[in-house]
Amino acid sequence: MRKMLVAAITLALALPAGTVLAAPAAAPATAAAETPTQLPRGVMPTHYAVSIVPHVDKLTFDGHVVIDVTVATPTSRITLNALGMTFSSATLAPAAGGKALPAKATVDAANQTARFTFAKPVTAGKYRLTLDYTGKIGTQANGLFAINYPTANGQRRALFTQFENSDARRFIPSWDEPAYKATFDLTVTAPKGEMAVSNMPIASTADLGHGLARVKFETTPKMSTYLLFFGLGDFERTTTESDGTQIGVVAQKGKAAQAGFVLDSAKTILHDYNDYFGIRYPLPKLDNIAAPGSSQFFSAMENWGAIFTFEYAMLLDPAYSTQGDRMNVFNTAAHEMAHQWFGDLVTMRWWDDLWLNEGFASWMAERETEKVHPEWNTVLETVRVREGAMGRDAIATTHPIVQKIATVEEASQAFDTITYAKGEAVIRMLEAYVGDAAWRQGVHDYLAAHAYGNTVSDDLWHAMDKVAGGKPITQVAHDFTLQPGVPLINVTAATCRDNRSTVSLTQGEFSRDQPHKTPLRWHVPVIAQVVGQPATSTLIDGSASVTLAGCGPVLVNAGQSGYYRTLYAPTLRASLAKDFTRLAPIDQLGLLGDSWAEGMAGLEPVSDFLDLAHAVPADASPELWSRVAGSLVGLDAYYRGDKPRQTRFRAYAVKQLRPEFDRIGWVPKPNESTSATLLRTQLIGALAQLGDARMLADVRQRFAAAKTNPKALPAALRQSVYMIVAEHADTKAWDELHAQAKAEKTPMIKDRLYRLLGIADDQALAERALALALTDEPGATNSAGMISAVAWHFPDLAWNFAMAHREQVAKLVDSSASSQFYPRLASASFDPSMIDKVKAYAASLPASARRPAETAIANIEYRMMIRKDRLPAVDAWLAKH
């Protein structure tokens, strides 16, 4: 599953660098938050034959399922997962034939189960459980759901399913746990003029008359319930082929051309993955299905053979999409396609090991992006990913990568930065430690040994141990996956003799909010070098003395593959800073990241980071300027509400960034790099955020000119200009954007326009956006995003509004995001009273649902500490510059 990105990316422009964000989510706690996850053992499903008849006008469906089960020991009842269902018939018959036993159905909504009780115990053996039931079609992305969307020919409605992590039980009474793998036959009664799509190709279609058809799909491979998929709507499908597998894209009619890039990309990706894994993709087809709308929880889902993706993460509209969108589309496709092996072919046994799915898919997607599109220079993006993970991992509310999951809510919360970003960063470190070739062999051996089965993390480490050449891979992996936190490598001394440097390293733990915490201990793979000399690798357990070739400034974590912070003694830090321009861009980014984090934590002077950022030359890599711009915007947000000090800071920040934007300009240069293209849009946003009058005037002029001359606002700049206009809107501009949103017929653009209405920095307009979010106008999947957008500038306003309308807001968010939405609204607050509000909210939740609230509290406390303890040092530095 790909986490929801759009709101998080935009939010990053408004929050200080290093801000801890709860995972995407939403809504007040429900009974689901206390739902135990695992079912009683003793009955094993092997095959589901499912027939579904949707009644879209009523938002209900009829279901009939025959489940082949094996009963291990005599029992008088069978318990499985079911949610939102009513049963009209239930029988159990021997698989070999014989009299069917009627069963009494008892539904337990709180535990999301149905129990079928028989008059007498059934003996061990093979049976067929036959159930007739009705279920609900939702309007948020859980279970079977409907999405309404506009077209040039009027409103349309499509059906889709989303089952991860625990929502197949809304569609099929089932053993809805990853380890209960089975095969599936799906049959659907659908309107003849609409396209039905599922994991497998269509096996047969029968005309039922009255405008209906019965569509039967081929049998799936053995897989977990959460990977089943069904979609139905006014679609069109375009195909290509790769290594004998048919690859398709399915989109609303008239939009298939916008999926051309993802179709071509999928062809390349599938071939590369077949080669890398050494195991061919096993299904006859692989579709990528585009859906209008959005979720507060995810942007794409890896259903085996039928990847589901919201349009904004798959389609490229030539009138609107940017280079950043193009890169996101590729990475999303690569992520979900990696899941076809890591997650679908081989699945974690339980949600404790979710990272085996998500961390690996994130790592593989980044690897594939680097391979296929080296011109995008995304290897430098790995530093940003690691920084995001360490920011979350360095506060008290963090958790290990492998974590104990006991409830449905805890399983939903596991889809977070630690699982995805830390998982990816740790894999990158381990790959560098054992070597590319050995790592690849270990991955192949692991997948081959467990195909169509379930695993735990140690299954992977055992495979790696066999190819790691004696390196203690399991020990290192356990240290980084079974305990939380960020190692801190202290570089305490360096001496040089006979052109060899001896460097002293000691290990601690980096924390943002626990300065006196007793540090944990890791076996840390470290790569170090004297700048310009060959690197040396070592494994640190506590402390070490490392000998390096050459004399000069010492760089630890050369290449930035390590998951740790590096803290240099002052003289060593100063020496390295003098040679900053000699470092590779990836190491410049790593040094800036460590300097920022350690300055904010009080481990080194904040001025060290400011000195480094101030000295960045005009010809530095665009990625480095991107880091500087992001940090300055982040610092600016800490000054919110203190106009005199913020004005002084902004004058410096604009003076620092404006020359770089003037060098890049509004118009792309011939053969411009992708990095420069991305930097242009970031600098436009940063300078506007910093209140640069010239930038704001230019943006408004281009927005106005586009009303009569669309060419005045090219697609590459449209999103940036619209975002700035929306954020700095007056009533007239806000009304104009609102009118555009209402009139827009392209769902992807319409959705984004409605979300932009929430980012206005005018409180009266923010209040109008909140009121609009509770109406039907924005669309069922957009309203929660509008409320989140308001929280970027007015967290207290958004929190109070959402709490006051909890019953209405709860209907606007998919249940997988339960318990996280409110804490996320509060995260940007500086008000101490917000801590008490979030604590009171957390106290009303079951213990399993409180981590996001606790994280929000930690974030608010951290922001307050930065204002009190760090900004005075920034002010003092500004006085000298």
Q: Which residues carry out catalysis?
A: 336
Looking only at the bridges linking them, the beta strands covering 60-71 and 104-108 are: unpaired
The whole-angstrom separation of Cα 142 and Cα 816 is 7
Helices 674-689/622-638 angle, 10° precision: 20
Distance CA 586, CA 192 (A): 55
Whole-angstrom distance, CA of residue 1 vs CA of residue 307 = 9
Q: Which two tokens stand for residue 671?
A: 């053969």
Sign of CA dihedral 621, 623, 625, 628: negative
DSSP state of 18: T
Contact 314, 250 (CB under 8 A): no
Half-sphere exposure of 395 (CA within 13 A, CB side): 24
Assigned token pair, 465:
């141990």
Task: From 141, 433, 480, 100, select the one nearest 309 (Cα to Cα).
Answer: 141
User: Tokens at residue 281, please?
Assistant: 């993709």
**What is residue 123's DSSP assignment?**
P
C-alpha dihedral sign at 659, 663, 667, 671 = negative
Measured over the CA atoms of residue 396, residue 587, residue 629 and residue 682, the dihedral's sign is negative
Exposed, middle or buried by CB within 10 Å (0-12, 13-18, 19+), for 462?
A: middle
Asked if 259 and 270 count as a contact pair (C-beta separation under 8 A), the reply is no
Among 403, 439, 428, smallest CA distance to 418 is for 403
**Is there a contact between 664 and 679 (Cβ–Cβ < 8 Å)?**
yes
CA 604 to chain centre: 32
Q: How far is CA 649 from CA 45, 605, 627, 751, in A?
A: 64, 18, 17, 35
Peptide bond into 499 cis (omega under 30): no
Q: Report the candidate in 50, 16, 443, 72 with the shortest Cα–Cα distance to residue 225.
A: 50
Q: Is 437 exposed, middle or buried (0-12, 13-18, 19+ CB in 10 A)?
A: exposed
CB atoms within 10 A of CB 487: 24
Distance, in Å, from the CA atom of 250 to the CA atom of 307, rounded to the nearest integer, reads: 10
Gyration radius of the chain over CA positions: 27
The size of the chain, in residues, is: 881
Which bin fits 84, alpha (ψ -120 to 50), beta or left (φ > 0)?
Answer: left
